[in-house]
Structure formats: C-alpha cells, structure tokens
Structure 1
Amino acid sequence: MSLMENIQQVKQKIKKACEISQRNENEIKMIAVTKYVDIEQTREILELGIQHIGENRVQHALPKYEALSSMGVWHFIGHLQTNKVKQVIGKFDYIHSLDRLSLAEAIDKRAKQLQTKVKCFIQVNISGEESKGGVNPAELIDFCKSIRQYDSIQVIGFMTMAPNIKNQDLIRSVFRGLREWRDQINQEKIFSEPLEELSMGMSNDFEIAIEEGATFIRLGTVLFKN
C-alpha cells in the first residue's frame, strides 16, 4: 500500500474510534513518527498533509529538521538526556518526555537563553513497567507542583505508553488512568491553566487511546508499512 493509502486507512480508524467515544475528529492530532524513515519519506508525509513529525533520537532528528523544519511541527518524543537539551530546545515545538526535575532545569535554562517558552508533556509511567520512563503516579502531584518554578516551561498535558500486549482491557486501563490523573490535576488547579492534552496511543493501540481521551497519537509503522 502507498503512504497515502495508509494515511487514509488510519483516518478511517480514527473516525470510527471517535464515533464510538462520541468525540470530534478534529480533537485528534496525528504525529508521524519518522525515526526509521529517511528525509525523502519524511518530506513525502509532510506534503501529504501530516503536519506533526515525531522523533526519538537527537542525532537522527537533526538532519531531517535542518532539511524540512519549515514544513512541519516538530515533536521530541523519546527519552531526552540533559546533555542533548541544547540541541533540541529552539528547534522542537513540543517535548513529550519531561520526567525529572534535572531535565526541567536544563530545558528552562536553555529556553531562557533563547527567550522562548517550551511546550512540554509530563511523561507518566502509568503501567509501572521498569523498562519505561516517566514519573511514578504516586509522585505526580508533587512533581507538578515542583515544575511550576520553571517559568519557561509550559506544561500542556501528560504522556504515557501502554504495555505492548494483547490484553486490551489492560491497555485501556493505562490510558484511562492517564486521563484520570489529568482530570485530578486540573481539579486541584495545580497549574494556572487547565491541562488539555493527552499524548498516548501508538500504531498498535491508538484506537483505544482515542476512545479514552487521547489528543495526540504517535504513529510509525502503521503509516510507513509497505
């Protein structure tokens, strides 16, 4: 199948998931994850109307950014090392993996140097898997309160990853858990503005994520399959 056909197929699945959950399709933003894709394929997906590009690794992302930065909105979705922050801030529009105060401090410092504000998702380890990054939910409220001191960081929502398993009920519980935490943080008015965004759902589980409230879905293989 062509890239265009893959996109149309995904859009149909998004539409169906929105119908099930009585949501508006316009609430869902599709991020094309291009970590295994070259510059030309990244250009192609941008030209086909996918506005958001997601990258996991700085060294792979920068050549694509340099070639195509004016064409899209750039998301850093992988683990971000503090020593790579200088290479990312000022280029990527969104950071999806804010998970520790040392990283927040580095982002804030660099953002102040560039006189910019960085949109960040706090990554939360809802599933509790040791292999995944993210803030422990039991520490999330305190973490959110601590983040407020960094005024060059704009927290816009939360991100999580579900286990790569077939048990859809468990996957759903992870996504529902993230939504419930967002709602609780909003209810307690920890941030000056309510958090609207949830970055959750990948190629194998994005429909469940949409049904549970995702606003950004991160798709790789389902878009770029042959």
Structure 2
Amino acid sequence: MVTESLKEVEKKVEEACKRAGRERSEVTLIAVSKTKPVEMLQEVYDTGVRDFGENKVQEMMDKYEVMPKDIHWHMLGHLQRNKVKYLMGKVALIHSVDSLRLAQEISAQSVKHEVTTDILIEVNIAGEASKFGTTREEAIALVEAAAKLPNIHICGLMTIAPYVENPEDNRKYFQQIRQLSVDIKRKNIDNVDMHVLSMGMSGDYEVAIEEGATMVRIGTGIFGARNYNI
C-alpha cells in the first residue's frame, strides 16, 4: 500500500519536473512520517528514500534511535527553543526557523555541540493568521541578522501554502516565495545560500515543482491519512 502510493507520487514528481523542464535530481522528496509507525517508515526506506520529515522533536528522536543512520532527518514543525538542543548533530535541515531568537538558540547549541546546523527561514507567504513564519517584508532582515550567527548556515526558504481545493490557487504563493529567494540571493549575503526552496505538500506539490521547489514534503500522499489520536 505505502509502496504503491510512493510509486504514484514519484511518477507525479517526475512528470512535474518534465513539464517544468527540470531534472528529477533537482527535487528532493521528503517523506513526512509524523504519527506513523517505524514499520511504515522502514517500508519507504526500503524503496530507497532517505529523506524523512517530522513535526515534533520527541517523535524524531524516538525514530532516529531505531531507524538506519543514513537517513536525513528534516525538522518541519514549529520549533520551541528549549527543544533545539536535542536536534544537534542529528538533524540534516531545520525548515522552520521563523525568528531571530530561534536562530540564536540554534547557533548557541550548535557552538556548544561543535556542529554546524543547516536551516531554512520559514516565510508565511500568504499571511495566514493560523500559520507560523516570518512575513515576506521581514524575511530579508531576518536572513541578514541570522547569517551573522556562528555555526549555522542558511540554505534557503520554506513556506506552507494555504490549504486549497484547487492546487492552482497556490501557484501565486509559490511564485512569490521563489521571487523572494531570488531577491535574497542577489544581495550576496555572507553565509546565505538560496539553493533550497522547500514548498509543496501532498495537495499541491506538482504546482510547487513547476514553480521551482527543490524540496517537497509529502505525508498523506505516501502514508495515507494521519491518526492524531495516538
């Protein structure tokens, strides 16, 4: 079941890349495994997927302990500063950095643990009250300030587009976040590399790829509906 779903997602990723004139290798598929048991993760791992995303630090740590060590773990959810220390040396990329205070904590813990941590700046591109993320207007200032901190490296931007029935409705937001990344790249800020654009989820990842996503975060499309009661 999971393997079949993954094949279908992979096919759609390839087709979206073709439509956009892009190589399949330009897009990383992150299997968003929150609330799912390790048996399901192992099934996806066995197909060759090495990038997994989690929303909660504790759940990522529990899975990190029992899953193969060549997995790249992505922290996707809102991150509390008091949980940052647990991620050090274990997370490949933190997608959800939305404030300078959080960036400062990641920097401080990275120095303490003698590691360099890759991060993305999360931008609430649609300005939704229910979502985390810095505003489009404040994003550049946040990037400039965070870039001066030791032991972190800004790799790009992340956004969570609105939930929509028609994926086309989010195309404008994907275009806006891509343009923002271009604007930031043009500034040539030290310690900032805009090669990652993390956008697109199960409902709209094909449009996101067409608009330049380099990472798409697929949960339901691979694992099926989540059970939040566990």
Which TM bucket (shorter chain)? over 0.9
The match for 2:85 is 86
What TM-score do the two structures reach when normalised by structure 1? Answer: 0.95
Secondary structure, in 3 states, of the residue corresponding to 1:195?
Answer: strand
Counterpart-to-counterpart distance in 1, 2:183 and 2:190: 11
1:51-107 Cα shifts (integer Å, max 9, x gaps): 101000112221111111514111111000001011112211110001101111110
Deviation, 1:191, is 3.5
Contact 2:153 2:192 in 1 (8 A): no
The match for 1:125 is 124
The within-5 A match list for 1:77-116 is: 77-116=76-115
- Matching of residue 43 in structure 1 with residue 42 in structure 2: yes
1:152-174 Cα shifts (integer Å, max 9, x gaps): 11000100011001243430011
The within-5 A match list for 1:137-152 is: 137-152=136-151
Deviation, 1:48, is 1.4
Moved more, 85-94 or 161-170: 161-170
Deviation, 1:194, is 3.8
The match for 1:62 is 61
Cα distance change of structure 1 residues 29 and 154 upon mapping to structure 2, 3 Å threshold: same
Moved more, 59-68 or 188-197: 188-197
Counterpart-to-counterpart distance in 2, 1:41 and 1:26: 24
Amino acid aligned to 2:161: A
Secondary structure, in 3 states, of the residue corresponding to 1:70?
Answer: coil
Amino acid aligned to 1:214: A
1:96-130 Cα shifts (integer Å, max 9, x gaps): 00110111111001100111100101000101001
Q: Structure 1 runs of 4+ off > 4 angstroms? A: none
Deviation, 1:139, is 1.0
Contact 1:46 1:71 in 2 (8 A): no
Secondary structure, in 3 states, of the residue corresponding to 2:190?
Answer: coil
Question: How many residue pairs get matched?
Answer: 225
- Matching of residue 26 in structure 1 with residue 25 in structure 2: yes
Counterpart-to-counterpart distance in 1, 2:95 and 2:60: 15
Amino acid aligned to 2:76: I
1:19-61 Cα shifts (integer Å, max 9, x gaps): 1111111101000011021111112211211110100011222
Contact 1:120 1:157 in 2 (8 A): yes
The match for 2:8 is 9
Amino acid aligned to 1:207: E
RMSD: 1.3
The match for 2:197 is 198
Amino acid aligned to 1:181: L
Counterpart-to-counterpart distance in 1, 2:140 and 2:9: 35
Counterpart-to-counterpart distance in 2, 1:165 and 1:56: 21
Contact 2:154 2:193 in 1 (8 A): no
Q: Percent identity?
A: 37
What TM-score do the two structures reach when normalised by structure 2? Answer: 0.94
Amino acid aligned to 2:175: R
